[in-house]
Amino acid sequence: MAKPVLMFDSLSCCEGCGLQVLNCETDLLPILEKADIGRFREASDGDVDHYNVAFVEGSIVTPHDIERIQEIRAKTDLLVALGACATHGGVNFLKNFQDPDDVAKYVYGDKRAWFPHVAARPLKAEVRVDAEIPGCPINPREFLEAATCLLTGKPFKLPNYPVCVPCKLADNVCLWHKGAACLGVVTRAGCDPYLCPSAGHKCIGCRGLVDKPNTQAAKDVMAEFGLTVDDILREFRLFQGIYKEVAQEA
């Protein structure tokens, strides 16, 4: 029996999430025993007519990105958004805070007409997405788990508790007590063992919100440390799609 076919592609992004897949190295072998790779933009040439699972990183920033994601959607059974760019718009969303013509002028100067662009958006703004693997970049362990589940028909579920849980289990002193507005209170866990607070860095929300963030508890923490909801929303601007979610919750 033919193996299922996987595909990896990139829209506008740094391609760090595709690199994380390649960084799995020998851990990819069990996946490759169960599936063939029909296309992997970052690793090889070639393409096929149909994929069973397409993993796409990057956000939609150009008319070409829109055409490309529609082409991929038409050729695949399942579409998985890979990384914060694909799930929420990621860092590309920052351009949406500026006048789009100013941004194009700053980047492309008098050649800006050669580079048509649209407001940055995640994959789900244009096509149906069947699963999301969040993070900037993705956690390779979570990718392996998702790929195994999708290939074996098992449900793939993201953790639905905040980053504070593994942070506390790691015995970290909360960074709020060191003057940092850490977003782990409302951000979806799953990045460990690459947990930023364990390295002394505040969580900046790259994995998006848990399904039902405890916004009242978050507000209480902010009030205790003299910050307002607006202060914390500014922290979420790095991942602007997440900023929009939080703004609705606030």
Q: Does 21 bind ligand SF4 (CB under 6 A)?
A: no
d(CA 165, CA 172): 11
Looking at the Cβ atoms of 36 and 229, the one nearer to ligand SF4 is 229
Show the tokens assigned to 183. Answer: 């977003």
Residues 120-149 that bind ligand SF4 (CB under 6 A): 135-137
176 in contact with ligand SF4 (CB under 6 A):
yes
Which of 117, 207, 222, 245: binder of ligand SF4 (CB under 6 A)? 207
The number of helix segments (H) and strand segments (E) in the chain equals 10, 5
Query: Considering only residues 25-44, where is the footprint of ligand SF4 by CB under 6 A?
Result: none
Is the preceding omega at residue 137 within 30 degrees of 0, hence cis?
yes
Q: Minimum distance between the CB of residue 2 and ligand SF4, rounded to whole angstroms?
A: 30
Asked if 184 interacts with ligand SF4 (CB under 6 A), we say yes
Residue (50 or 168) nearer to ligand SF4, CB? 168
**For residues 226, 97, 58 and 84, what is the CA-based torsion angle, rounded to 10 degrees?**
10
CA distance 121 to 208: 15
Residue among 4 and 244 whose Cβ is closer to ligand SF4: 244
Q: Are 146 and 156 in contact (CB under 8 A)?
A: yes
> Residue 55 — φ and ψ, nearest 5°?
-105, 120
Work out how close the CB of 113 gets to ligand SF4 at its nearest, in angstroms, rounded to a whole number.
26
Q: What is the CA radius of gyration of the chain?
A: 19
Q: If binding is defined by CB under 6 A, does position 5 make contact with ligand SF4?
A: no
Altogether, the residues listed in the chain come to a count of 250
In the set 9, 39, 83, 132, which binds ligand SF4 (CB under 6 A)? Answer: 83
Chain residues in the site for ligand SF4 (CB under 6 A): 13-17, 57-58, 83-85, 90-91, 135-137, 163-164, 167-168, 172, 174-176, 182, 184-185, 187, 191, 194-197, 203-207
